[in-house]
Structure 1
Amino acid sequence: MPFVRIDLPDTISPQDAQALGDAVHQALVASFEVPPDDRFQVLARHAPGALVCTPAYLGVAHSARVALVQITCSFGRTLAQKRALYAGIAHNAAQAGFAAADVIVHLVETARENWSFGGGVAHYAPVAS
């Protein structure tokens, strides 16, 4: 049930944006045991100046093709699973033509009751008694 938002410069083609979305989803399936059909993503391309990323941080250099990936998911994954996810995204992104250093990932964990998949229903909330 992850919700993925990928923000990219508008110089990235729609096809490359989709390839990165595929790369992120494949890593989620492999590392977080997300079902293959559990895919909710926003792929947003932004005009110059709309994305701000320092050219280098913590020894990692970023180019003009930087991708900001935010993944909102439920609590419960181990640190090992999170590390595997980050590594999987970087590997898959490189296969899709992105530099691994250009993929910044931000994981946001939230309680399962905070999700509704439509119809005004809190699908994962405990049933009221």
Structure 2
Amino acid sequence: MPLVRIDLRRGKSGEFKRTLTNEIYETMRETFNVPEHDRFMVINEHHEDNLVFDRSYLGIERSDNFVIIQLTVSNTRTQQAKQAFYARLVERLRQRPGLRPEDVFVNFVEVVKENWSFGNGIAQYVV
């Protein structure tokens, strides 16, 4: 159950944002075995003064289309699965909605399964 938070510059179209979330979801399904309907995402849009990033850190040239994608996930994914996610995500986002791989920043926050409640005051993943 990834919880996805997306931060980007204000001004992108609704179609761009829908495409972005769809491609992230499909990448999670392909690389992380995320089940159908397991889709929880928040988009935060920022004025240019409120999205601060280095345009050339680690020799990667970033543009105004820079996007931060943070996934809170259960700590069950291997390093190989994460690498597959990174690679597939930039491939998909390059095709649709047309983001450069240099503009895609991804961060995982890993938590234990008892840290999730999907509603009703119950930790559904705790058996």
What band does the TM-score fall into relative to the shorter chain?
over 0.9
**Residue 103 of structure 1 aligns with which residue?**
104
Q: Return structure 1 stretches of 4+ with deviation > 4 angstroms.
A: none
**Residue 35 of structure 2 aligns with which residue?**
35
Task: Flag structure 1 segments of 5+ consecutive residues without an equivalent.
Answer: none
- Residue by residue, what CA displacement relative to the aligned partner does 1:11-53 show, whole Å, maximum 9, x if unpaired? 2222112211111111111111101211100012112211111
**TM-score, normalising length: structure 2:** 0.94
Asked whether the 8 Å contact 1:27–1:89 carries over to 2, the reply is yes
Letter in 2 for 1:82: K
**Residue 19 of structure 2 aligns with which residue?**
19
**TM-score, normalising length: structure 1:** 0.93
**Residue 90 of structure 1 aligns with which residue?**
90
SS of the residue 2:52 aligns to: coil
Aligned length in residues: 126
Between the aligned partners of 1:23 and 1:34, the Cα distance in structure 2 is 13
The sequence identity of aligned pairs, in percent, is 38
Q: Which has the higher helix share?
A: 2
Task: Flag structure 2 segments of 5+ consecutive residues without an equivalent.
Answer: none
**Residue 59 of structure 2 aligns with which residue?**
59
Calculate the aligned-residue CA RMSD, in Å. Answer: 1.0
